[in-house]
Chain A
Amino acid sequence: MRHVARRIVQGLAAALVLTAAPSAQAQDYPSRDITFIVPFNPGGSSDPLSRAFAAQLEKALSRNVNVENKPGGSATIGTNLVVRANPDGYTIGLGDSAALMYQPLVNKDLAYKTTDDYEIITKLADVPGMLVVRPDAPWNTFEEFLADVKKSPGKIRVGVSGVRSISDMVVQQFNRAADVKITTVPFTGGGGEALLAVMGGRIEGAVGYGGNTIAQIEAGKLKVLGVFAKGKYEPVPNAMSIPDAGYNATIPSGYSVIAPKGLPNDVREKLVAASQEAVRSPEFKEFTKKNGFVLDLKSPHEVSAELGELRNEFVGLIEWLDKKSAAK
């Protein structure tokens, strides 16, 4: 009899431990190191952005946040890993807007399709594209450039970072909005080969991003004609905003933080709060300001809505492009 009683007590104790375990885990979150997956190579601008964020997230959570680079496949390989990871809050990653929204439209083999397939923790930053030309180019304003584009359709070439990359799409957006034809030329080196081609006079212009391009503008090696974003872009305050001039061409290179679907509620809340704290920290603000990122603190819902709009924009643009090439 005593034997049985002991069994029951043991069983109860075990049951107690088992039921207590998940909530204890969530309360203790994070009880071990967190992995932050960056779907790009170290080098380039998204890796430093991730590391700057991870350093602040470490402070907010008092745990190590280990940055792991999982590059390849237009950032889908790393993104897939995050989406498929165990939803315990210990694997999160950088979400690149093109990988999240454009890639599912053209690739059926991904673990995600829409924002319903992963959780958005926070928005990090946007980087608007800048239209740059040689300093001795005949155009001093965007209007002059546009006039020449209208005069000789298809003859003005602008370097982008790959066919149907974000930089290509923003130029196509402009082509559609202004009903003109700028020819895009893909330069895929990733190390600013498009900028080199502009400096060398091989093409007329390029779409450049972030600190690398800003440095060339400041040094007088390139001239900026316009920015593909509304309002003033701090690093080049005198450059014209192209959308403000009436041409809807605004797709930025955007970054957010994502996690796999199905995080326990309290883990998600903790992660969202800590991430927003990290984004608001003076160190992260300083980093983004220095490197041409535009801080954009949005709630997960707002990011989700924004990505949805971006998806619609991509779908519309692709249809427009397909129709145009079919008409040829």
Chain B
Amino acid sequence: MSAIDGLLYGLSVVLTYQNLLAAFLGALAGTAIGVLPGLGPVAGIAMLLPVTYSLSPSAGLIMMAGMYYGAQYGGSTTAILINMPGESASVMTCIDGYKLTKKGRAGGVLSVVAIGSFLGGTASVIGVMLFSPAMADFGIMFGPAEFFALTAGGLLILSRMSGGSLAAGVLPMALGLVLSTIGEEQVTAQNRFTLGFNDLRQGVELVALVVGLYGLAEIMSVVETIQHQVKPIRVGLREMLPTRDEMRRAWAPYGRGTIIGFIFGLLPGPSATMSSFASYRLEKAVSKYRDEIGQGSIEGVAGPETANNAAATSSMGPLLSLGIPFGSVTALMLAAMMVHGVQPGPLLLTNHPEVFWGVIVSMFIGNLMLLILNIPLIGLWVSLLRIPHHIFLPLILILVVIGSYSVRNSMLDLHMLLLLGCIGYVLRMFEFQLAPMVVGLVLGPLIEKHLREALFMSLGDISVFYSSPIAVGIWIAVLFIMTFGLQRALLEKLSGIRFKRTALGNVE
């Protein structure tokens, strides 16, 4: 079946009221999951898993996919409005998004994000449709050595991502790496730093860290300063829409974010979160307005939010065409297929075309629904800022506690949440960056795992790290990005001209 036939066939599958309803409810639930701080897509989908079992296989999977990309739409909302990421893929959005809200641009930014999410998601579906059989093999091209380059290189690049002094970024990142070593390491299942508490073997949960650092710490600092609420100026239609300038500046990040997100989605790992880190860092390196990023610029929001949507969407590709899940959400979807009696795998397209094309085409429609759903909702979200603090903060506190507990039903995570909230508060007081700590916790275990796997695989021969062309390519790119500033300075000195723009900056 060609892509066009598939599209038409998929449309015939999706355009039944049951499947349309599944897409809509999934997208709606996903938006809610994304908006609520602490409650991320994995926990949300796991909670709604039993519901999807009562639907047909296609409707169940359409609903789950809807929740995943819907959560990427919603995740940015609280990040932008109250500096609390709705889920971990929106950590980067806090930095610039919240500063823009303080400038009174909340409505405009939310619109820019909704449009970017839509564009990223839709472009990514087209990519999945066109390349789905071929791209199953893309993941195969990546082994431990390539992933080691990607994650270790990523850590190097991201150590200086949001400005501030070197220590302000590196210390929290080191702290994140330290936290990531707690618990049972994956390769040989040894306990590290568990102090004899069996529960500590599960390690520090990412959601507890994100919610503690941002959610709890933010609540504490608001209470402490008794700061005046960010008074949302009466939101008229004009404040709701992005200005012409904002839209103009968003296009290039949209494009770059889509490409980054699409590629990360095809690779194993927490791809939505990693793609948002990568996109932010790329904007910081190549954007025309890179100097403004970190101070409240539209690029720092548009790029990552487009990327995480593109990644959430394209991660369906390997699941559907290869039957191997690359992340927690797709693993859940795989489990749902098994319960439904649909065997996931390369034969899915042949044996269950209704599932394959149904899910893909539903993502077009779901993304459209989300756009239509989200633009009018922006007014509502912004008006949340008008709720008095003494009502709003306790509500948020309840939500973050429920959300953190729901990830793996663990009391330990709540204790961690409290502890990390205090750590986050202290770090903020001394003006440390918080995002690098999240990066450390995400990448630390991955770097270790890939390093060890690669060495196991090569029987201890370290040439495995530089004998693969892809790994070498990644390291060169890392080097290039890390020395970007130096290269620019050198060029200016040599030619005697002040380069205002770099070649890469004009990618649009």
Contact = CB atoms under 8 A, between A and B. Distances in A.
Interface string B202-220: 1100000000000000000
B186 A162 contact: yes
Nearest to A291: B338
B197 interface: yes
A45 B345 CA distance: 14
B334 interface: yes
B34 to A, nearest CB: 19
Contacts of B183: 72-73
Given A186-B187, A202-B143, A215-B346, A73 B201 contact: yes
Interface in A179-196: 183, 185-193, 195-196
Given A43-B332, A69-B46, A162-B188, A219 B456 contact: no
Given A73-B198, A218-B345, A197 B331 contact: no
B328 A69 contact: no
Contact of A192 (B324, B346, B408): B324
A285 interface: no
B453 A186 contact: yes
A186 B202 contact: no
Interface in B453-477: 453, 456-457, 459
Nearest to A187: B453
A188 B449 contact: yes
Nearest to B348: A215
A287 to B, nearest CB: 7
Given A69-B408, A73-B202, A48 B335 contact: yes
Contacts of B409: 68-70
Contacts of A186: 187-188, 452-453, 456
A154 B345 contact: no
Q: Using C-beta atoms within 8 Å of the partner chain, give the interface range for chain A.
A: 35 or more
Interface string A74-93: 10110010000000000000
B408 A71 contact: yes
Contact of A71 (B202, B336, B339): B202
B241 to A, nearest CB: 40
Given A80-B198, A196-B324, A221-B346, A162 B184 contact: no
Nearest to A71: B408
B346 A73 contact: no
B222 interface: no
A280 interface: no
B410 interface: yes
Interface residues of B, number: 56
Contacts of A188: 186-187, 449, 453
A197 B143 contact: yes
Contacts of A154: 459
B311 to A, nearest CB: 16
Given A70-B410, A219-B345, A44 B188 contact: no
Contacts of B49: 42, 51
Contacts of B341: 286-287, 290
A246 interface: no
A48 B338 contact: yes
Contacts of B323: 212, 215-216
A70 B334 CA distance: 19
Contacts of A211: 338, 343-345
Interface string B178-208: 0000011011110100101111011100000
B324 A42 contact: no
Interface string B338-378: 11010111111000000000000000000000000000000
Contact of A197 (B184, B328, B338, B457): B457
Interface string A274-317: 00000000000011001100000000000000000000000000
B324 A109 contact: no
Contacts of A219: 345-347
A293 to B, nearest CB: 10
B374 to A, nearest CB: 28
Given A42-B331, A72-B408, A211-B343, 20 more contacts: A67-B50, A68-B409, A69-B408, A72-B202, A73-B183, A76-B201, A107-B191, A109-B198, A162-B186, A163-B188, A186-B187, A186-B188, A191-B325, A196-B143, A196-B268, A197-B144, A212-B344, A215-B348, A216-B323, A219-B346
Interface of B: 46, 49-50, 53, 139-144, 183-184, 186-189, 191, 194, 196-199, 201-203, 268, 323-328, 330-332, 334-336, 338-339, 341, 343-348, 408-410, 449, 452-453, 456-457, 459
Lowest 9 CB-CB distances: which A-B pairs, in order?
A215-B345, A43-B331, A72-B202, A73-B201, A219-B346, A188-B186, A163-B188, A200-B140, A192-B324
Interface of A: 41-45, 47-48, 51-52, 67-74, 76-77, 80, 107, 109-111, 154, 157, 162-165, 183, 185-193, 195-197, 199-200, 202-203, 211-212, 214-216, 218-219, 221, 286-287, 290-291
24 contacts: A41-B328, A43-B328, A43-B335, A52-B339, A69-B409, A72-B184, A72-B203, A73-B183, A74-B189, A77-B198, A110-B198, A111-B198, A154-B459, A162-B189, A163-B187, A164-B188, A188-B186, A191-B324, A191-B330, A192-B324, A202-B144, A214-B343, A215-B343, A291-B343
